[in-house]
């Protein structure tokens, strides 16, 4: 009979993590702890064993891989909110900086945001807008799923027993990005509404991800198509206020918000429209992001 | 369960703990370090701010057993010896930044953490740095004044570099 597993496993590789989860199928997976420990402190969850991911080097940090960045599951928001990664994926940096407080951002991870899969998960609308791909590892090997397929419902994911998130692959897009969030203050707030709008100047698309307005992150496809159709792509501009307003309306129509203790469905729809319009006017401003000489790096 | 933490540079053995105990609980109830305050137990208030491997975190959101092998620094370890204060603590007193005092250890930790990384923060950086620390007495004005005082005193104490 093997020795009883330690109640806290501190594996140092993904293989060791998967083995620890195979040994202790009921184990709770711990990364930054900012979701799990709230539940434990409140007595809502009582762990009998824990598998910690924080010592796994493969899961830390991020790297550039061609026209993508690969974010390790244990990358913290503090690592995302400024520096070279925030320059490469500005909307993700903006979203990261709105999360919690410096203390929370020093601990909480992008893999945890995905694993928890809260409708209010702050990075999820950005990842959805960018068509980021979640990489998982498990007993049956590794898988890749679009964020939109990974999150299956309110705090529900496509993770199978014994599987973990190992990384997120985020495509790099040339063009401006904006993330806006409504809450009762600038820190320590669970979002009432989130809007991420990303421009792809090369693909000539506008991408809109919405959060806290449906069980899962929402892509506002008809709003995206409308904006792309009405943008002046030579200048990178949306000059008409009517287009900006209509884009906001179409984003609001893509949502299915609820009334809850943080807000009402009506307010959420209204706030999405305002934020989406504001975001579009920033990423494709009336004066354009290009000079008249044609496409350039802004 | 039994494990060893390193707290303020010293090894501390924890015995008979329950798996789910937070670092905050272990510091206060098992190791006799009540400087980190327990208020919200959900990371909202910052009163339990400690440094874990040089990152400022809420001790209530750290699983204590997971902190084994890491370096934990609490408010008790800030000053060099008994009855001495750090410049941040002194500035809090001088500026009247302490009223009921419950949030003070966390705020002192946050201001130290900020000024270690950024010796000349602007107003927004200062406010952002303490955005995870709730104070219900002061309205933050005296706390911000204390932080600015530390910045000024440290700048004054640093000899100006000769211009090339």
Query: Which residue among A50, A107, A188 places its CB closest to the CB of B61?
Result: A107
In A, which residues are within 8 Å of B3 by CB distance?
Answer: 8
Burial of B161 (0-12, 13-18, 19+ CB in 10 A): exposed
CA–CA dist B29, B56 (Å, integer): 21
Query: Which residue among A10, A42, A103 places its CB closest to the CB of B58?
Result: A103
Site from A103, A109, A183, A184 to mutate, B interface, most B CB atoms within 10 angstroms: A103
If you average pLDDT over residues A241-251, what whole number do you get? 98
In CATH terms, the fold of domain B3-77 is Ubiquitin-like (UB roll) (3.10.20)
pLDDT of residue A293: 44
Percent of chain A at pLDDT exceeding 70: 95
> At how many degrees (to 10) do helices B87-94 and B104-117 cross?
120
Residue from A169, A168, A227, A172 nearest A195 by CA: A227
The answer, yes or no, to whether residue A101 has pLDDT greater than 70, is yes
pLDDT, tens digit, for every residue of B5-53?
999 999 999 999 999 999 999 999 999 999 999 999 999 999 999 999 9
ipTM for the assembly: 0.95
The answer, yes or no, to whether residue A131 has pLDDT greater than 80, is yes
If you average pLDDT over residues A150-167, what whole number do you get? 97
If you average pLDDT over residues A44-52, what whole number do you get? 96
Residue in the structure block whose two tokens are 């510091």: B27
Spell out which chain B residues touch chain A, with contact meaning CB-CB distance below 8 angstroms.
1, 3, 19-20, 22, 41-44, 46, 49, 55-58, 60-63, 65-66, 68-69, 110, 113, 128-129, 131-133
* Interchain pair B133, A101: CB under 8 A: yes
The CA distance from B117 to the nearest CA of chain A, in Å, is 13
Reading chain B (164 residues) residue by residue, the pLDDT tens digits are 999 999 999 999 999 999 999 999 999 999 999 999 999 999 999 999 999 999 999 999 999 999 999 999 999 999 977 789 999 999 999 999 999 999 999 999 999 999 999 999 999 999 999 999 999 999 999 999 999 999 999 999 987 665 55
The answer, yes or no, to whether residue A2 has pLDDT greater than 50, is no
The answer, yes or no, to whether residue A23 has pLDDT greater than 90, is yes
The CA distance from B145 to the nearest CA of chain A, in Å, is 20
The CA distance from A7 to the nearest CA of chain B, in Å, is 7
Residue in the structure block whose two tokens are 């802004």: A298
Domain boundaries, chain B: 3-77, 87-157
Banded model confidence at residue A62, pLDDT cuts 50, 70, 90: very high
Q: Which class is domain B87-157? A: mainly alpha
């Amino acid at each position: 009979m093997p020795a009883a597993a330690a109640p806290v496993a501190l594996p140092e590789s993904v293989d060791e993590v998967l083995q620890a989860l195979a040994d202790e199928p009921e184990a709770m997976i711990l990364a930054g702890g900012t979701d799990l420990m709230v539940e434990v402190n409140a007595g809502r969850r009582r762990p009998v064993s824990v598998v910690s991911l924080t010592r796994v080097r493969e899961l830390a940090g991020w790297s550039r891989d061609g026209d993508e960045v690969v974010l390790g599951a244990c990358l913290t928001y503090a690592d995302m909110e400024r520096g070279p990664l925030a320059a490469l994926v500005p909307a993700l940096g903006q979203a990261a900086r709105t999360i919690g407080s410096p203390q929370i951002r020093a601990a909480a991870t992008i893999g945890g945001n995905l694993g928890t899969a809260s409708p209010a998960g702050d990075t999820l609308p950005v990842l959805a807008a960018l068509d980021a791909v979640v990489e998982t590892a498990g007993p049956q090997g590794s898988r890749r799923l679009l964020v939109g397929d990974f999150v299956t419902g309110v705090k529900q994911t496509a993770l199978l027993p014994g599987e973990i998130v190992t990384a997120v692959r985020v495509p790099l897009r040339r063009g401006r990005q904006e993330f806006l969030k409504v809450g009762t203050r600038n820190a320590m707030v669970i979002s009432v509404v989130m809007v991420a709008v990303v421009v792809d100047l090369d693909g000539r698309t506008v991408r809109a991800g919405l959060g806290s307005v449906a069980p899962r992150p929402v892509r506002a496809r008809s709003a995206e198509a409308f904006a792309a159709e009405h943008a002046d792509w030579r200048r990178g501009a949306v000059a008409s206020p009517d287009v900006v307003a209509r884009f906001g309306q179409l984003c609001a129509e893509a949502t299915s918000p609820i009334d809850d203790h943080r807000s009402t469905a009506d307010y959420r729809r209204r706030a999405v429209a305002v934020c989406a319009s504001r975001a579009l006017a920033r990423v494709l401003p009336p004066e354009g992001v290009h000079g008249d000489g044609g496409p350039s790096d802004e | 369960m039994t494990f060893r933490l390193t707290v303020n540079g010293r090894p501390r053995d924890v015995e008979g703990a329950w798996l789910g105990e937070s670092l905050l609980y272990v510091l206060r109830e098992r190791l006799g370090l009540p400087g980190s305050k327990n208020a919200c137990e959900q990371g909202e208030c910052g009163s339990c701010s400690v440094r874990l491997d040089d990152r400022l975190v809420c001790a209530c959101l750290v699983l204590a057993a997971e902190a084994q092998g890491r370096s934990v620094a609490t408010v008790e370890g800030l000053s060099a010896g008994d009855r001495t204060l750090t410049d941040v603590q002194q500035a809090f007193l001088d500026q009247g930044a302490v009223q009921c005092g419950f949030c003070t250890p966390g705020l002192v930790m946050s201001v130290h953490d900020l000024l270690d990384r950024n010796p000349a923060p602007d107003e927004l950086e200062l406010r952002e740095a303490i955005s995870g620390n709730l104070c219900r007495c002061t309205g933050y004005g005296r706390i911000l004044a204390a932080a600015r005082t530390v910045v000024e005193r440290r700048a004054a104490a640093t000899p100006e570099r000769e211009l090339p």
